[in-house]
Structure 1
Amino acid sequence: MEQTFMKERPILPLVLSMSLPMILSMMVTSLYNIIDSYFVAKISEDAMTALSLVFPVQNLINAVTIGFSIGINAVISYHLGALEQEHADNAAALGLLLNTLHGIILTFACIGMMPFFLEMFTENKEIVDLGVRYSRIAFGFAVIISLGMAFEKIFQAVGKMSFTMFSMMCGCISNILLDPVLIFGLGPFPRMGIEGAALATGIGQTISLVIYLVIYLIKPLPVRLRFRRLNFQRNMVLKLYAIGIPATLNMALPSLLISALNVILSAYSQAYVTVLGIYYKLQTFLYLPANGIVQGMRPLVGYNYGASEHRRVQKIYRVALLLAVGIMVLGTVLCQAIPSELISLFTSGSETISAGTSALRIISIGFLASTVSVISSGALEGLGMGLPSLMISLLRYVLITIPAAFLLSRFLGASGVWHGFWISELLTAAIAYVIYHRAVRRQA
């Protein structure tokens, strides 16, 4: 039950021990996302486009459930560091209950809005139909997602990264195995098409949740879900939402960005919309592992901040930043060296491959700079500073990228959108560095 290792172990081995399990599980998740898109692309290019258009709403569900769970994680870590066990227990139970409510609301709201949402971006009835059929099944698992994410962040808050890795990997591997079986109807299973991809995803998410529940029941954690003694303290609810709402907005902003860019790109060609969707599938292979570092860092930052170990917090930040840089160097090299091979994993259309090759080479210019924004935003969440973290994400996804993409597209066509990415990353990185260090100095 003792958590003092978070402030006693040497920092590099500590960050690696917390982050590597998450990086591994994130890499498997990235592989799942790519394989899922690969099999959907085998149905038709319309199916791939439908998946690209559904992605912003799917990301919204993830944003709300994961974002609030980040609030649970940060509050638990802080109270454990401050040796306030009862508050940590209450944060876990109250957070789990509230996130379940979020999942219920999202299920009905997102399924109801999908036909109207899809018709905003395409007049192709086949694409709309495929998108609706996929989303009705995928979004039906929103409550499962909300529960699974809450448990994931509770386990991470107490340093149980290996259990989180095991649960996530089991869910992702199940998805990978079930995708071709349910999409194409292998063996005794019927051919379900795009609905099979959605069902495979939902089953994988359910398996992850079941594993969390089993582990929690047989192996006690340093925090307990004491629902009979649940205290709806106003201050605790405000703490959870003060971190959870900005974290949710941080994660929801990519959906707004993608939707805005889809509007700009659709004026040129549907192929560019497909390229944007493919790019966001590919970039998860980089940003999910980087997020694994953030997930390993966040409870360490929160715990040490609660224990008033401010110098240690800064060292953890620097180590995490260097690790993320290593991941982005690899991504930049791949996107510059073999962009057409990466794009052709998801489409055989020559126009799409040509446009995607150019897009990857341009966008990847900003990968290295993005590490400053990603790590600074994650560290601020761990410190319970949701608003500065949100400001970084607003700059990165909305206030700089969308205007830059729109203006540059007036002069450079669709390629102007791709240039907007790296320009935004460079400017945001400089501002994020200042925001993080000013916020930390004020709290020290």
Structure 2
Amino acid sequence: MNDKSLNLGKGPILPLLLKMSGPSIAAMLAMAVYNLIDAFWLARLNPDAIAALTICFPLQLIFGAVGVGTGLGSGSYASRMFGAGETAKARKTGGQAYFLAVVLGTLIIGVILADPESVLRIFGATTGIAPLARQYLVTVMPGVPFLFLIMITNNLLRAEGRPHLSMYPLLVVAIISGILDPLLIFGWGPFPRLGIRGAAVAAVISQIAGALLSFYYLQHGSSRYRLSWSDLRPDFRIILSIYQTGLPSIIINLVVSLCMLLHNHILAGYGNTAVATLGIVFRMNGLVMMTLYGIGHGLMPLVGFSEGAGLHSRLMTTVKVAVRISAGIALASLLLVEAFAPSIASFFSGDHELQALTTTALRINFLLLITAAPSLMWINMFIGLGRGTTAMVLLVGRDTLVLIPLLLLLPSVFGINGVWMAQPLASALAFLFILYWTKRQYRIFESRIVQPMTRTETC
């Protein structure tokens, strides 16, 4: 196992960004492919099963919001501490993040299991799919703390310059889940037929395995963290620093969950097939968005380190390289989906109504990638700088002031197609505001630059 840490402040930017992003992209794509496979098998079970999974998706976004927010805050703070030479504070950050994962994971399990039926009704479950949604939700809940541990460690490993290790726990989750899914859903071989509950059991088993591997990497002899029991004791100054960046990210993802909830309620009026279509579209979109998130995850520690070390010229060049790469991926993905949408829809189901809805929804929804790709890189720049509040204002403003009104207005004019149109339009409008704030931040960087970039800081 190669545990050599990368030097985040030296060397050509493009290769370094690819090294930092590559493992995260691989892991994210593996998870996205698993989610697609999950949807594929459940769609084969019956359309109501994929609709039930889609109803649970906003709740999974809430779980992800807590894990991602805590992880991003921890990784951003740790990378800045490493950049500033404060290794002890960076190591302590790992212990605090693990403490938070266990406490928050246990709290969420208690809240959800206290009354799962009421929770699912709030998130749009109809009478026909509520029992299936409850089976999945109740079964998947024990895996939440382990999911948090994976998300947090993923960010901590990137913060210390070991991105190649950050991908393996997620790969383990994807591989184990992908193998167990059809076995437990359909009862192949010696395995029991559990239906939608089988998908949840596969998820929990894989999350436990991924969390154990994550903890091993953080405790390995080559790690700069090497947690001790004293690091796990609450340090409220570090926790405050984590959530100064992480809390805005949590709020961002909670608003995303609110928008998904609204999608579910609106589409429920068009029938369970429309809800199932949303699940397929979001998973296909996730293939590309996970790739873009992977680039963003690689960008954040580079930004944080450069900010901590005062390398502002290098920082700007790094962000510009990330924007160019992400925009190219987005354009290629859009063209492929526009050309092959019918084939993609038929892959998931033989149901003609579901195929027709999915084809149209894919072609409309994927238009959002053109503006979402650069916007996401700039948002990750602000998070890497510890400016989580700025990222929150920009993204929450997009969803609350633009997306939600469009979701409420457009279906009355364009019918179900108005639901698919809302996100691309909201993304395009938000792009203008995010671009403005990015240029404003660049002017601040430029005012701090004393010396020009060296040749090694270019790509």
Shorter chain as normaliser: what TM range? over 0.9
Aligned counterpart for 2:149 among listed residues 147, 150, 153: 147
2:250 maps to: 248
- Per the alignment, residue 367 of structure 2 pairs with 365
Which secondary structure does the structure 2 equivalent of 1:242 belong to?
A: helix
**Partner SS, residue 345 of structure 1:** helix
Aligned-partner Cα distance in 2 for 1:229–1:357: 51
Structure 1 residue 120, shift from structure 2 partner? 4.1
TM-score (norm. length: structure 1)? 0.95
1:49 Cα deviation from its structure 2 partner: 0.6
- Which whole-Å CA distance do the structure 2 matches of 1:187 and 1:349 have between them? 27
Q: Indicate the SS of the match to 2:129.
A: helix
Report the CA distance shift for 1:367/1:230 in structure 2 as closer, same or farther (over 3 A). closer
Most deviating of 311-320 and 248-257: 248-257
> Where does residue 83 of structure 1 map in the other structure?
85
Aligned match of 1:289 = 291
Letter in 1 for 2:103: L
Q: What's the CA shift string for 1:261-295, capped at 9, x where partnerless?
A: 22222233333222112111111101011111011
Counterpart in the other structure of 1:129: 131
**1:42 lines up with 2:9 in the alignment:** no
Aligned to 2:119: 117
- What's 2:167 paired with? 165
Query: What is the DSSP-based 3-state SS (H/G/I as helix, E as strand, rest coil) of the residue aligned with 1:272?
Result: helix
Q: Which residue of 1 aligns with 2:405?
A: 403
> 1:24-423 counterparts in 2 under 5 A?
24-120=26-122, 124-228=126-230, 232-423=234-425
Residue of structure 1 equivalent to 2:454? none
**1:437 equivalent in structure 2:** 439
Write the deviation string for residues 22-79 of structure 1: whole angstroms up to 9, x where unpaired.
Answer: 1111111111010011111121111111000011001110111111111000000000
Contact 2:244–2:388 (Cα < 8 Å) also in 1: yes
Q: 1:395 to 1:342 in 2, by over 3 A?
A: farther
Return the offset for 1:246.
0.7
* Conserved 8 A contact 2:6-2:162: no
- How large is the RMSD of aligned CA atoms in angstroms? 1.9
Instruction: Judge conservation of contact 2:52–2:125 (CA < 8 Å) in 1.
Output: no
| Paired residues of 1:182 and 1:191 also in contact (CA < 8 A) | yes
Number of paired residues?
Answer: 444
Contact 1:155 1:161 in 2 (8 A): yes
Decide whether aligned partners of structure 1 residues 270 and 194 sit closer, same or farther in structure 2, where only a CA change above 3 A counts: closer
Q: Matches of 2:386 and 2:234 in 1, distance apart? A: 20
Amino acid at match of 1:6: L
Question: Does the Cα contact within 8 Å between 1:79 and 1:306 map onto a contact in 2?
Answer: yes
* Alpha-carbon distance in 1 for matches of 2:313, 2:36: 40
Q: Deviations over 1:288-323 (max 9, x none)?
A: 111110111111111111111111111111111111
Q: Could you say what secondary structure the match of 1:188 adopts?
A: coil
Is contact 2:410–2:422 with CA below 8 Å preserved after alignment? yes
> Is the Cα contact below 8 Å between 1:388 and 1:436 reproduced in 2?
no
Kindly tell me: are residues 440 and 71 of structure 1, through their superposed partners in 2, closer, same or farther at Cα, counting changes over 3 Å? farther
CA distance in 2, matches of 1:82, 1:91: 14
Task: Give me the whole-angstrom Cα distance separating, in 2, the residues matched to 1:97 and 1:122.
Answer: 33
Deviations 1:227-278 (A, max 9, x none): 3256744432211111111111222322111111222222333332221121
Letter in 2 for 1:324: S
Superposed displacement of residue 3, structure 1: 6.1
- What is the CA–CA distance in structure 2 between the aligned matches of 1:113 and 1:421, rounded to whole Å? 32
- Name which of structure 1's ranges 207-216 and 367-376 shifts more when overlaid on structure 2: 207-216
* In 1, Cα distance between equivalents of 2:83 and 2:393: 27
> Residues of 2 paired with 1:122 and 1:243: CA distance?
31
Stretches of structure 1 that go unaligned for 5 or more consecutive residues are none
For residue 317 of structure 2, what is the amino acid of its counterpart?
A: K
Distance of 1:262 and 1:204 partners within structure 2: 28
- Return the letter of the residue paired with 1:277: G
Question: Against the structure 1 CA distance between its residues 204 and 368, is the aligned structure 2 distance closer, same or farther, given a 3 Å change threshold?
Answer: same
Offset of 1:126 from its aligned partner? 4.1
Provide the C-alpha distance between the structure 2 equivalents of 1:173 and 1:187, rounded to a whole number of angstroms. 19
Amino acid of the structure 2 residue aligned with 1:183:
I
Deviation at 1:442, TM superposition (A): 4.6
Segment of structure 1 superposing worse, 20-29 or 7-16: 20-29
Paired with 1:302 and 1:121, the residues of 2 have a C-alpha distance of 37
